[in-house]
Structure 1
Amino acid sequence: MNLVLTGSTSGIGWETLKALMPHANRIFLPVRNVKKAEKMILHLFQKEKIILIPMDLSIMSEVKQGAIQILEQCQEIHLLINNAGGMFPAGKKTSEGIDLTFATNHLGHFLLTLELMPALIQGKAKIIHVSSIVHQIATNPSKDLGLLKSANTGTAYGKVKLYNILFSNELKNRFESKGISSYALHPGAVKTAFGSETSLWAKVIIEVSKLIFISPKAGAQTTIFLATSPKNQLRNGGYYIRKKPKTPSTLARNQKLSATLWNYSEELLKNMGLT
C-alpha cells in the first residue's frame, strides 16, 4: 500500500502514522518543517518507508510542487488521508491572498487531491478527511465561500470543517465510478496543540475544554479504522464518529452546495494559474 498523509508530525496525525506504518510499503509525508519531521521519524521502526515532501498546505504553489514530487515517485496511491488542519485568527491571509483558515483546512487539500488524482484512480484509493462535529455550527457559506469577509474564528473553523464533508461527498459523486472511495470523520475532542495560533479568547476556551478532551491516540482510532477496513464494510461518502456512520448536518448533505464549493475552489485555483 502507498500512503499519503498530511499533518503527520503532531497530534492524531502522528498516531495515525505510527499505526499505519506496518500496513504500508511507502509513505509520503507532506511536511512544512522538514527538519522537525526528520528528527521525529529518526527512531521509528521501518522509517525507510517514509519519504518527506516539503509542503506548506496553505501555500498553493508549494502544494502543486509537492504533488509533482509525489507523482514522480509513485504511480499508484492507495490511501490519502487529509488530516492537517488548524484554527487561525479570522481575517489572517496567506502570502497568496487567501484566507489562512480556508487555505489550510480546505483549499490545500483540494488541490493536493486533484493533483494526485491520476495515481489515486490507478490505486482505486480511499480518501479520508478529518473533519469535526463543529461543522454543525456552520451557517450557509454560499455568499462568502472563501471566508474573505469572516470576522469570527470559531464560525470560520466551523465552515471549513463543513467543507471537509462537502468535499468528501463531491469526490464520491464524481469519482466513485472510477474506484475512488471517500470518507469524512469526527475524531473526537482531542488534546493537542490545536488552536495555538488563534486568538487569546479562543485559546482560553480550548484550554478549559482540554479537561474533557481525549488523547491523540484515541482520536486517531476512527481514521485508522477507515484506513484499514475493507471498502465493502464501509459506506462510501459516509461521515463517521467512533467508527460508526452518522448523519452530518443538513448543510453537509446539500449536494448543490458541495458542487458549488467544488466549482468555486477549482475556479480560484485556475485564476492562480494552478489548474
Structure 2
Amino acid sequence: MNLVLTGSTSGIGWETLKALMPIADRVFLPVRNIKKAEKMIQHLFQKEKIVLIPMDLSIMAEVKKGAIQILEQCKEIHLLINNAGGMFPAGKKTSEGLDLTFATNHLGPFLLTRELMPALIRGEAKIIHVSSIAHQIATDPSKDFGLLKSANTGTAYGKGKLYNILFSNELKNRFESKGISTYALHPGAVKTAFGSETSLWAKLIIEVSKLIFISPKAGAQTTIFLATTPKSQLRNGGYYIKKKPKTPSPLARNQKLSAALWDYSEAVLKNLGVI
C-alpha cells in the first residue's frame, strides 16, 4: 500500500502514521518543516519507507510542486489522508492573498487531491478527510466561499470543516465510478497543539476545553478504522464519528453547494496559475 498523509508531525496525524506504518509499503509525508520531520521519524521502525515532501499546504505553488514530486516517485496511491488543518485568526492572509483558514483547511488539500488523482484512480484509492463536528456551526458560505469577508475565527473554521465534507461528497459524485472511495470524519475533541496560531481569546477557550479533551491516540482511531477497514464494510461518501456513520448537517449534504465549492476552488487555482 502506498500512503500519502498530511499533518503527520503532530497530534492525531503522528498517531495515524505510527499505526499505519506496519501495513504500508511506501509513505509520502508532505511536511512544512523538513528538519522537524526528520528528527521525529529517525527512531521509527521501518523509517526507510518514508519519503518526506516539502510542502506548506497553505501555499498553492508549494502544493503543486510537492504533488509533482510524489507522482514522479509513485504511480499508484492507495490511501490519501487529508489530515492537516488548523484554526487561524480571521482575516489572516497567505502570501498568495488567500484566507489562511480557507487555504490550509480546504484549498491546499483540494489541490493536492486533484493533482494526485491519476495515481489515486490507478490505485482505486480511499481518500479520508479529517473534518470536525464544528462544521455544524457553519452558515451558508456560497456568497463568500473564500472566507474573504469572514470576521470570526470560529465560524471561519466551521466553514473550513464544512468544506471537508462537501469536498468528500463531490469526490464521490465525480469519481466513484473510477474506483475512488471517500470519507469524512470527526475525530473527537483532541488534546493537541491545535489553535496555537489563533487569537488569544480562542486560545483561552481551547485551553479550558482541554480538560475534557481526548488523547491524540484516541482521536486517531476513526481515521485508522477507515484506513484499514475493507471498502465493502464502509459507506462511500460517509461521515463518521467514533467509527460509525453519522448524518452531517443539512448544508454538508447539499449537492448544489458541493458542486459550487468545487467550481469556485478550481476558479481560484486557475487565477493563481497552478492548474
Give the TM-score normalised by the residue count of structure 1. 1.00
- How many equivalent pairs are there? 275
How many Å apart are 1:215 and its aligned residue? 0.0
Residue 41 of structure 2 aligns with which residue? 41
Give the counterpart letter for 1:10 in structure 2: S
1:72-151 correspondence to structure 2 within 5 Å: 72-151=72-151
Q: Residue 271 of structure 1: CA displacement?
A: 1.0
Task: Give the secondary-structure state (helix, strand or coil) at the position aligned to 2:143.
Answer: helix
Distance in 2 of aligned mates of 1:273 and 1:93: 18
Alpha-carbon offset, residue 15 of structure 1:
0.0
Q: Distance in 2 between matches of 1:11 and 1:228?
A: 19
Q: Secondary structure at the match of 2:69?
A: helix
Residue aligning to 1:67: 67
Matched, 1:230 2:242: no
Structure 1: runs of 5 or more not aligned? none
Aligned amino acid, residue 207 of structure 2: E
The whole-number CA distance in structure 2 between the counterparts of 1:73 and 1:178 is: 22
Name the amino acid aligned to 1:204.
Answer: L
RMSD: 0.3
Q: Supply the distance in 2 between the matched residues of 1:65 and 1:80 (Cα, whole angstroms).
A: 17
What is the letter of the counterpart of residue 239 of structure 2?
Answer: Y
Structure 2, unpaired ranges of 5+: none
One-letter amino acid of the counterpart of residue 214, structure 2: I
Match of 2:14, as an amino acid? W
Residues 120-156 of structure 1, C-alpha deviations (whole Å, 9 max, x = no match): 0000000000000000000000110000000000000
Match of 1:154? 154
Q: Which residue of 2 aligns with 1:273?
A: 273
| Alpha-carbon separation, structure 1, partners of 2:88 and 2:62 | 20
Question: Can you list the C-alpha shifts for 1:201-222, whole angstroms capped at 9, x where unaligned?
Answer: 0000000000000000000000
**1-structure distance, mates of 2:49, 2:190:** 27
Cα deviations by residue, 1:160-218 (Å, 9 ceiling, x for unpaired):
00000000000000000000000000000000000000000000000000000000000
**Runs of 4+ that moved beyond 3 A:** none
Residue 166 of structure 1 corresponds to 166
Take 2:218 and 2:142, find their aligned partners in 1: how far apart are those partners? 34
Partners of 1:137 and 1:163 lie apart in 2 by 12
**Which position in structure 2 is the counterpart of 1:263?**
263
